Amino acid sequence: MTVAPHFKFNNGVLHAEDLSLAELADTYDTPLYVYSRQALRDAWEAYRIASEGRDVLVCYGMKANSNLAVLNEFKNLGSGFDIVSGGELARVLAVGADPAKVVFSGVGKQVWEMKAALEAGVKCFNVESEAELTRLSEVAQAMGKVAPVSLRVNPDVDAKTHPYISTGLKENKFGIAIEKAVQVYQHAATLPGLNIVGLDCHIGSQITEVSPYLDALDKLIALIKTLASHGIHLKHLDLGGGIGIRYTDEKPLTPSDLLDQVFKVLRQHQLESLQIVLEPGRSLVGNAGVLLTRVEYLKHNEAKNFAIVDAAMNDLVRPTLYDAWHSVEAVQPRQEESSVYDIVGPICESGDWLARDRKLALQQGDLLAVMSAGAYAFTMASQYNTRPRAAEVIVDGATAHLVRPREALESLYSSETVLK
């Protein structure tokens, strides 16, 4: 049975911390996202311990889960933020986070987004192309500002993960090829309105080994030394995020596993003065959440048994998009003979499934918990088939906080008009 530490059975019922998930479903209906506040804190603590005594800035990769309550929690714990849009910047500012601890990533920054980030005073723009450098220089000049920049370099390192979440190979859209990096840095140094401050790299997501990071680090250190020989001296090295979590039987590395090795290499090359920036997302929130869903119908045919539930691919698209595995647990397991089911939703797409070939004892009306749904669940949710997005609840001990209500059906089309 794969259950995250903060979701445990008590008297035969799965709980989030001290609250029954069955009671939460009765109170807030389903589908429902439920997060554990203590899980967020414990995940952050692993990064805090790993960073102790070292110059490390942890910037939460908020695309994983951008609920304001989650952002505020990490802000209060001391986190910076990794953003990829002007909208995410607005969320960060809405919780009163320090813009000087914000790094702005992403391949397609628009002018209005650059202006907003310059006005706010972000720590750094992670620039991903020469065209972006030119545009940022022009925008900063026009505003009378200086934009702090690092270049996101693509080291052509295989993160050994799903191709859709691997970002450090030559064929990926991200970053600047490492072979061109010196030339682009030299060009950046000639552009007005820019201040070169760092080097950025992000090779992928759901990484469970330290070796891809170290392979990338070797290439980055060689680049840092070459840049220094050309008079370009950096203040920080951003290694991105990507540390994986346990969805089934993975054995992920810890923040200490990574940082211990990184600082060992930096010492060998006398580069300990560099600040290290990390951008964890999934590893901070992934196992802090579940998606609750209720069985609407059981359907049996010659080839398959289907449990048709009220959650769908619009609530959790990862299985459809990445063929991702999420453990599925009965909130109140039955002591009956199990059958093998595909867990599918009501959306009119064959790709609408949450789990396949799961052995469960089920009856209509049973409640299921799709585990490890704290990351890339609600943030990737849609309103496809005119389905209101589900509510979000954070559990703190024996108290539940509704941090985002379920969308009202009318709100989905209230801003639309018809032609006369």
At 204 the pLDDT is: 86
Q: Are residues 296 and 271 in the same domain?
A: no
pLDDT tens, residue by residue, 75-86: 999 999 999 999
Would you say residue 74 lies in a domain? Answer: no
User: Which among 246, 280, 314 is the end of a domain?
Assistant: 280
At 170 the pLDDT is: 53
Closest CA to 104 of 279, 304, 350: 279
Would you say residue 48 lies in a domain? Answer: no
User: Which among 280, 315, 330 is the end of a domain?
Assistant: 280
Q: Which long-range contacts (CB under 8 A, 24 or more apart) does 44-53 make?
A: 44/74, 44/77, 44/79, 44/284, 46/254, 46/255, 46/256, 47/255, 47/278, 47/280, 47/284, 48/77, 48/78, 49/255, 49/256, 50/254, 50/255, 50/256, 50/258, 50/259, 50/260, 51/255, 51/259
Q: Are residues 228 and 200 in the same domain?
A: yes
User: Which among 256, 280, 304 is the end of a domain?
Assistant: 280
Would you say residue 190 lies in a domain? Answer: yes
Domain residues for the domain of 150 are 105-280
**Which is more confidently placed, 48 or 3?**
48
Q: Are residues 365 and 250 in the same domain?
A: no
Contact between residue 353 and residue 326 where contact means Cβ atoms under 8 Å apart: no
Alpha helices in 269-327 (DSSP H): 282-285, 318-322
**Which is more confidently placed, 248 or 284?**
284
The one catalytic residue in 59, 124, 201, 348 is 348
Which token pair is 19?
């609250």
Q: Are residues 247 and 307 in the same domain?
A: no
Q: Are residues 384 and 264 in the same domain?
A: no
Q: Are residues 245 and 305 in the same domain?
A: no
Q: Give the total number of structural domains in the chain.
A: 2
% of the chain beyond a pLDDT of 90: 90
Q: Are residues 340 and 392 in the same domain?
A: yes
Q: Are residues 181 and 244 in the same domain?
A: yes
CA 273 to CA 34: how far, in whole Å?
41
pTM to 2 decimal places: 0.94
349 pLDDT band, cuts 50/70/90, is very high
pLDDT tens, residue by residue, 238-278: 999 999 999 988 888 999 999 999 999 999 999 999 999 99
CA 216 to CA 221: how far, in whole Å?
9
CATH number of the domain where residue 248 is located: 3.20.20.10
Would you say residue 110 lies in a domain? Answer: yes
Residue 59 appears among annotated catalytic residues: no
The mean of the pLDDT values for the chain is 94
Cα dihedral 125→98→62→282 (10° resolution):
100
Q: Are residues 135 and 194 in the same domain?
A: yes
Question: Is pLDDT above 60 for 232?
Answer: yes
At 1 the pLDDT is: 46
Q: Are residues 126 and 267 in the same domain?
A: yes
Q: Are residues 254 and 304 in the same domain?
A: no
At 302 the pLDDT is: 87
Q: Are residues 345 and 275 in the same domain?
A: no
Closest CA to 126 of 281, 285, 279, 282: 279
CA 420 to CA 416: how far, in whole Å?
13
CATH number of the domain where residue 397 is located: 2.40.37.10
DSSP state of 233: -
At 92 the pLDDT is: 98
Would you say residue 396 lies in a domain? Answer: yes
pLDDT tens, residue by residue, 150-185: 999 998 886 655 454 444 445 566 789 999 999 999
Would you say residue 100 lies in a domain? Answer: no
CA 68 to CA 64: how far, in whole Å?
12
Closest CA to 251 of 311, 221, 207: 207
pLDDT tens, residue by residue, 60-110: 999 999 999 999 999 999 999 999 999 999 999 999 999 999 999 999 999
Would you say residue 239 lies in a domain? Answer: yes
Would you say residue 72 lies in a domain? Answer: no
pLDDT tens, residue by residue, 394-404: 999 999 999 99
Question: Is pLDDT above 80 for 129?
Answer: yes
At 186 the pLDDT is: 97
